[in-house]
């Protein structure tokens, strides 16, 4: 079975169990924390994916990270996954859990990239556009600043991208100028 399908199934099971136990928000915090730690600490990802390190050591690492702040359900879930030798999927499960949580709560996540911090007025316009695209009422807007786009913005919603950046317009113009429209094609 593919890693994606396994991660999706584990994420769905922990989501349903956390809803049943009434600790959905606490488990979400733990999953977000795991994603942040994995993004900033590549050694943790290597440790979890290593076939040489035993599941006991991987479990000790996870308990050390989440023992004081983690929810009991999350810790029990980490233990089950580690004992089944699937600790290498924990980071993917955490990401998939967040996606399924957003789907369950009706939240649309969108990324907007600009060259400067956006104002509240602009933020509200972006949120309105995302609501129109997705049809969902709740929007979580991830704002990024990237000077490489020169100006304008790039808005990503699911698999759609609205690229109104100057850098993309300049690339298109450069491509257009690379063709010689006045050359005979005989």
pLDDT in tens, 33-47: 999 999 999 999 999
Residue 163 CB neighbour total at 10 angstroms:
16
pLDDT in tens, 119-170: 999 999 999 999 998 888 899 999 999 988 888 899 999 889 999 888 888 8
- Give the CATH number of the domain where residue 62 resides: 1.10.520.20
Average pLDDT score, the chain: 91
The radius of gyration of the chain from alpha carbons, rounded to an integer in Å, stands at: 22
Residue 63 and residue 117 in one domain: no
Residues contacting 105, CB < 8 A, separation 6+:
138
The pLDDT, as a whole number, for residue 1 is 62
Average pLDDT over residues 18-45: 94
Give the model's pLDDT for residue 174.
Answer: 87
Q: Give the range of the structural domain holding residue 168, as residue numbers without chain letter.
A: 107-178
Same domain, 118 and 96: no
Torsions phi, psi for 111 (to 5 deg): -110, 130
pLDDT band at 178 (very low <50, low <70, confident <90, very high): confident
Q: Other C-beta atoms within 10 Å of 169: how many?
A: 14
Boundary (domain end) residue, out of 103, 123, 141:
103
| Mean pLDDT within 169-178 | 86
40 and 90 part of one domain: yes
Domain's final residue, options 51, 80, 103:
103
* CB-neighbour burial class of residue 136 (10 A; exposed 0-12, middle 13-18, buried 19+): middle
**Nearest to residue 38, comparing CAs of 92, 101, 100, 96?**
92
Residues 86 and 114 in one domain: no
Measured CA to CA, the distance from residue 22 to residue 15 in angstroms comes to 10
CA of 141: how far to CAs of 98, 110, 128, in Å? 15, 5, 11
What local confidence, expressed as pLDDT, does residue 185 receive? 62
Residues 80 and 62 both lie in one domain:
yes
pLDDT band at 11 (very low <50, low <70, confident <90, very high): very high
Structure token pair of residue 152: 């304008």
Rounded CA gap, 179 and 173, in Å?
10
């Amino acid at each position: 079975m593919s890693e994606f399908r396994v991660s999706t199934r584990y994420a769905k099971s922990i989501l349903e169990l956390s809803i049943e136990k009434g600790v959905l928000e606490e488990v979400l915090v733990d999953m977000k924390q795991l994603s942040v730690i994995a993004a900033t600490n590549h050694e943790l990802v290597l440790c979890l994916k290593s076939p040489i390190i035993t599941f006991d050591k991987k479990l000790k690492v996870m308990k050390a990270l989440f023992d004081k702040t983690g929810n009991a359900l999350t810790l029990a879930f980490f233990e089950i996954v580690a004992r089944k030798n699937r600790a290498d999927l924990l980071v993917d499960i955490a990401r998939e859990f967040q996606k399924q949580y957003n789907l369950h709560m009706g939240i649309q996540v969108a990324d907007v990239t600009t060259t400067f911090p956006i104002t509240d007025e602009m933020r509200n316009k972006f949120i309105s556009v995302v609501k129109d695209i997705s049809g969902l009422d709740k929007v979580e807007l991830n704002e990024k600043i990237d000077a490489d786009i020169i100006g304008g913005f790039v808005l990503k919603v699911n698999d759609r991208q609205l690229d109104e950046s100057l850098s993309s317009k300049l690339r298109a113009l450069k491509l257009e100028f690379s063709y010689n429209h006045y050359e005979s094609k005989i």
